[in-house]
Amino acid sequence: MKVMKYLAKLAVSVVLLASTALSSFGQQDDPMYSQYMFNIQAFNPAYVGSWECVGFMVLGRYQWVGFDGAPETHTFTVQAPLRNERIGLGLSVINDVIGKEKRFAVFTDYSYKLKVGYEASLRLGFKAGFTNYRNILSDYSPIETNDPSFQGEIRESFMPNIGVGAFLSAPRYYFGVSIPKLLKNDFEYGAENYKTDYEFRNMNLIAGYVFDMGSSVKFKPSVMFRHSESQPFVYDLNASFLFAEKFWIGGMFRSTSWNGAGSAIGGNVQFIISEKLRLGYAYDLDMGDIGSYGNGSHEIMISYELRSLVKSFTSPRYF
C-alpha cells in the first residue's frame, strides 16, 4: 500500500512538472477560491467600498497538500470608501506559485455606487494593474538533461491588464458579474521562438441570499459560475448557516477543480470574533485520482475592518 501511495505521488509530481512546463508556453487562468463569497474583491472590482469602512483581507490557499510543487496562492486586498461613500477604492495583490512558476499581480480597484432601491445599490467597478511572471527553467530536473525547453529563465516583468465588474447588493442578497482581465497577453521566449497566449479572459458570476431560520439561525445559499476561454465551464455551490451572528459553517460542491482536475467537495467555517475581526477556514477534496492520495486543499482567511466610533457596526455583514 505504501508503494502504491509513493508511486501515485510520484506520478502526480511528474504531471505537475509537465503541466508547469507546458503552462510556461500555454495559457494561465486566475486563481480559484473556496471562500469566494468573502473574497469577492479578488476577482470583482465593483465589490470595493461595500464594507463601508477601511478593511483588509488576507487569504492563503494551499492546493493538493502533500505533493511537491503543488499550487499555492496568497491574496491580500484592502478597500475603503471615500467621504461621499459613492466611490470605493482598493488594492488587490495576488502571489500565485505552481512548482517553480511564479506570478505576482498588483491591481488597483475602483467602484462607483448607484442607488437602485430603498436598500439596494449597484456598484460599477474598474481595475487596472499588472502581472509579473517568472519561471527559472534551469532549476527543473528533466529526464533529458539537454532539453532546450528547460534552459534559461523566463522573466516577463510587466504584463499590464484591465478588468471590469458590477455588484448589486442589499443587506440580504448580492449578485455580481466581472471580467477581471480583458486583455490577452502573450510573449515569446528562447531560441525555439516559443509564442504563447499567456492570459485568457475569465467571466465570473456570483449570487447569494440570506434566509431567516429562526431567531438565531440564518441560511445562505450561494453560487459562483465561471467561464474561461481556456478551461471548461465551472460552477461552485455553497450552503452555509450562521449561528447567533457569530459562527458560519457550510458545505460546498465544485463541478471542476483547478485546471480541470475533477470535481471537489468540502466545507467552510468562519468565526466572527468581533465587529472588526473575522477568521475563516475552508477545506476541499478533489474527487479525482489526486484526492485519493493527497491531503486536500486548505484555505485560511483573516479580515479586519477599521470601524470608527462614529461609523459603528449597525448591521452584520453577510458577504
pTM of the model: 0.84
Three-state SS at 285: strand
What is the distance between the alpha carbons of residues 304 and 58, in angstroms, rounded to a whole number? 9
Identify the structural domains of the chain with CATH numbers, from first to last: 2-306 (2.40.160.40)
Count of all residues that appear for the chain in the document: 319
DSSP designation for 199 = B
DSSP-H helix ranges across the chain: 2-23, 289-293
Task: State the DSSP code for 28.
Answer: B
Q: What is the pLDDT of residues 45-87, one digit of tens each?
A: 999 999 989 999 999 999 888 777 788 999 999 999 997 889 9
pLDDT tens, residue by residue, 163-186: 999 999 999 999 999 999 998 877
Enumerate the β-bridge partners of residue 56: 78, 304
